[in-house]
Amino acid sequence: MRIDVVSIFPEYLAPLRLSLLGRAQEDGLLTLAVHDLRDFTFDRHRTVDDTPYGGGAGMVMKPEPWALALEHVLERQAGAHGAADNPRRPVLVVPSPAGTVFTQAMAYELAEEPTLAFACGRYEGIDERVLDWAGERFEVRPVSLGDYVLNGGEVAVMAMVEAVGRLLPGVVGNPESLVEESHSAGLLEYPVYTKPSSWRGLDIPEVLLSGNHGKIASWRLEQQLRRTVARRPELLEGAEAAPFGKGERAVLRELGYEVVDGRLRRVAS
Ligand code: 6GU
């Protein structure tokens, strides 16, 4: 996969050269290019922002540097592996607190693309006409990390590139760690423990020493259910009941959920 990021703070993205994704780039599994938006300006001050029409606080990113930067990205991406056979337009992710919320499902979708581009806005945002213009050349996707406000898209891009990059074939050494995650999709992970079995007066759950793999698996699933109910109940409300067997349904009932038309429903308690 080829990823291009446009930002006024290219150094912000430097950590993507480290660790797992750094290795993926060395191994040729991922090509990551970060472009400085100011390289697409021509005035002495390399200006990328201006005051908003209609007034109001803050500054807005000027359109022309963005068009030039994104044209440059399109040229570079045209030669990427798989780009020529892509029947669809290349995806342009625009990080924004006003976007669709980024999820693991979206990470899997994006991991299928031969190329991805990210346009990091700063200040109050990018002149809206850039998105209209880009919409004729890219599949534009405004994406948010969640309901809070960051100063710009760079940190969000780091999160998204890491989430997508680790799904690319060969990037994660043991692909079973991905399989396990997708099996438990929709539930939070179970708690994990390592040696020593007794530490500062705290013992690990006994079942983990039993050697009974069936019992361990059902204990872990029960922990996932309890955790999800306690921390993220909205993940269970309306979820398909089909993946849950007799034992799990009993736990779910105890936790206040019933099955109606094959879906979980919170029972008033
Ligand atoms: Cl993608 N961008 C910004 N600026 N703030 C955010 C965000 C993105 N996601 C959550 N907050």
105-139 confidence digits (pLDDT tens): 999 999 999 999 999 998 789 999 999 999 999 99
pTM for the full predicted model: 0.93
The reported pLDDT for the residue numbered 53 is 98
DSSP string for 119-179: E---TT-B-HHHHHHHTTTSEEEEEESSSS--SSSHHHHHHHHHHHHTTSTTTSS-THHHH
Q: Which residues contact 147 (CB under 8 A, 6 or more apart)?
A: 97
* Residues of the chain predicted below pLDDT 50: none
The reported pLDDT for the residue numbered 95 is 98
Contact 84 CB / ligand 1 (< 6 Å)? no
The reported pLDDT for the residue numbered 224 is 94
The reported pLDDT for the residue numbered 269 is 65
The reported pLDDT for the residue numbered 13 is 96
Nearest atom of ligand 1 to the alpha carbon of 147: 10
Contact 96 CB / ligand 1 (< 6 Å)? yes
Nearest atom of ligand 1 to the alpha carbon of 157: 1
Pairing of β 198-199 and β 202-203: antiparallel
The reported pLDDT for the residue numbered 134 is 98
The reported pLDDT for the residue numbered 175 is 79
The reported pLDDT for the residue numbered 35 is 98
